[in-house]
Amino acid sequence: MRSPIAAAVGCTALASITALPAQAQAPRYDHVLVVVMENHGLAQVVGNPAAPYLTALAGQGANFTNSHGVAHPSQPNYLALFSGSTHGLTNDSCPHSYPDADNLGAQLGAAGFGFTGYSESMPAAGYAGCIAGNYVRKHNPWVNFPNVPASANQPYSAFPTDFSRLPAVAFVVPNLVNDMHDGSVATGDAWLKANIDGYAQWAKTHNSLLIVTFDEDASFTSANLIPTVIVGAAIAPGSYGERIDHYSILATIEDIFGLPRLTPAAPIADVFMRSSVP
């Protein structure tokens, strides 16, 4: 694991930042954006010539070399990331509803923070259908929870160009072609560069965070090793080898906003540096 302090030396963009002790809580961010891609293992993406953007992004931030999906197939991983549980689901069937289950969106709303999920190719805000063209509900976990308002379920076309208008936490899920499920690695990589890099660079100077992760690997292996990259303000660039999974990412976001944890998983802590600005 690379030392966050060593990674920051000589980086003028981080001149006003000092390192947190290992395992300290993540700092409070104004915005956290989570982007979920599909069905590729770590070795298929980071370092692949077909994925120059994601490879470059991994070099700009924290690149996790021991990040794992929690299940196969896709849908249980999305539920785990959003609600801290797979709810016993072991397939991609649709629809499902969990009216009594807590989740990140409901937590944020109860604490006075905003949440919005943006799904590419979803035909309308609040849409609850299972499939529409290249949109699939199985990749949209928030629609399964009645305690998340329908207004938080938005098509990607509603994603703001003024990133300061984003809620505290937002998810972006590309459609089946652009998330690498049906499309190629190169197609998904190009989509991320065209659609997400503007936010990634903005986040570094606006107390915000980008998390790019995948649902599962391509081969249904038991290891389920996937790419995960965190970029933004107060992030020490480097490769990090601790074991993390979707529950770890959820716990990290909950810690950032002072929310009770839905899972006993340990949050990510060693990549963060505290800004001199309160």
Identify whether the C-beta of residue 86 lies closer than 8 Å to the C-beta of residue 79.
yes
Handedness of CA 150, 167, 195, 213 (dihedral sign): negative
pLDDT of residue 20: 35
Quote the tokens at residue 83.
Answer: 């609600």
* Angle (nearest 5°) at CA 76 between 184 and 160: 60
pLDDT of residue 149: 97
Quote the tokens at residue 132.
Answer: 């529409």
pLDDT of residue 193: 98
Alpha carbon distance 209, 47 (integer Å): 22
pTM (predicted TM-score): 0.90
For the chain, give every domain's residue range. Answer: 4-224+235-267
pLDDT of residue 277: 33
The interaxial angle of helices 197-204 and 52-60, nearest 10 deg, is 10
Q: Tell me: the pLDDT tens digits for 52-98?
A: 999 999 999 999 999 999 999 999 999 999 999 999 999 999 999 99
Alpha carbon distance 277, 27 (integer Å): 11
pLDDT of residue 274: 61
Question: Each residue's pLDDT tens digit in the chain (278 positions)?
Answer: 444 333 333 333 333 333 333 345 789 999 999 999 999 999 999 999 999 999 999 999 999 999 999 999 999 999 999 999 999 999 999 999 999 999 999 999 999 999 999 999 999 999 999 999 999 999 999 999 999 999 999 999 999 999 999 999 999 999 999 999 999 999 999 999 999 999 999 999 999 999 999 999 998 889 999 999 999 999 999 999 999 999 999 999 999 999 999 999 999 999 998 642 33
Return the CATH number of the domain spanning residue range 4-224+235-267. 3.40.720.10
Please report which residue ranges of 99-161 form alpha helices under DSSP H: 104-110
